């Protein structure tokens, strides 16, 4: 299906000449800093003020450690797109410090949530948060969006927040999401939209990917 998919007009193509290892390293470095010293300030908003800006209900954050909330760095609100139902299986791609995974775990219990992130420092923060909040239906795994450590057709819903724009190959990342979703499964994503044309030179600029 990939060859057919790539030939569909308007489909995002991989960026020629982009150093993917350098990009991943830069992203891991940036988000490790967000996880460990969120108070330093970034080119994006973070924490509770951001959650409010994005329409998160304060009740969703009850009991979530403040250090974890401080590391929140989403760009949208996957829960505003559609309700999660008890018993559903949810995959959170790029779960970061784990706020969305914890919110989802509470919404779908006794259903299950898997959170995947490629940044060890963020996963460490997310695991500590899960322990502190007492959720038992959340499994946090290290992995890349393009190779999700989840079986075929496991999820009823895939959520993600502020992550898809960092995929070096957006079609490959979305196809992975499709692979793990059941037929008819829902995609509920917060991300960004760029309205101006980005040159190939700029697309190869790792610093611009970060902000």
Partner 1 sequence: MTATVVAAGFVGFEITWRADVFGGAPQASSAAQFGTVGINFRARKARTSEEWNAAVEELSCAVA
Residues within the interface to partner 1 (CB under 8 A): 1, 5-6, 8-12, 41-45, 50, 53-55, 75-78, 80-82, 162, 170-171, 174-175, 177-178, 181-196, 198, 208, 211
Q: Are 181 and 153 in contact (CB under 8 A)?
A: yes
Residue 129 C-beta: closest distance to partner 1, Å: 23
| CB-count burial class (<10 Å; 0-12, 13-18, 19+) for 167 | buried
Q: Are 195 and 172 in contact (CB under 8 A)?
A: no
Residue 22 C-beta: closest distance to partner 1, Å: 18
Q: Nearest 10 degrees: CA dihedral of 80, 85, 74, 5? A: -90
Please, how many CA atoms are within 13 Å of residue 125, restricted to the half-sphere of its CB?
A: 30
Nearer to partner 1 by C-beta: 45 or 127? Answer: 45
Q: How far apart are CA 130 and CA 19, in angstroms?
A: 34
Nearer to partner 1 by C-beta: 54 or 102? Answer: 54
Residue 132 C-beta: closest distance to partner 1, Å: 27
Nearer to partner 1 by C-beta: 138 or 180? Answer: 180
Nearer to partner 1 by C-beta: 103 or 130? Answer: 103
Residue 105 C-beta: closest distance to partner 1, Å: 20
| Number of residues in the chain | 211
């Amino acid at each position: 299906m990939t060859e057919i998919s790539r030939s569909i007009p308007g489909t995002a193509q991989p960026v020629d000449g982009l150093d993917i290892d350098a990009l991943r390293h830069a992203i891991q470095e940036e988000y490790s800093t967000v996880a460990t010293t969120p108070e330093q300030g970034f080119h994006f908003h973070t924490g509770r003020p951001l959650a409010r800006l994005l329409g998160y209900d304060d009740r969703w954050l009850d009991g979530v450690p403040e250090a974890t909330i401080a590391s929140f760095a989403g760009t949208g609100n996957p829960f505003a797109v559609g309700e999660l139902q008890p018993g559903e299986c949810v995959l959170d791609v790029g779960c970061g410090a784990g706020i969305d995974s914890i919110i989802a775990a509470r919404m779908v219990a006794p259903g299950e949530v898997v959170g995947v992130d490629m940044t060890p420092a963020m996963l460490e923060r997310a695991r500590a948060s899960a322990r502190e909040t007492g959720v038992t239906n959340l499994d946090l795994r290290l992995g890349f969006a393009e190779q999700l450590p989840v079986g075929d057709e496991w999820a009823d819903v895939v959520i993600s927040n502020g992550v898809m724009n960092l995929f070096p190959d957006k079609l490959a990342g979305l196809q992975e999401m499709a692979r793990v979703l059941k037929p008819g499964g829902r995609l509920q994503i917060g991300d960004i939209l760029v309205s101006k044309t980005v040159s190939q030179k700029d697309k190869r600029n790792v610093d611009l990917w970060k902000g």
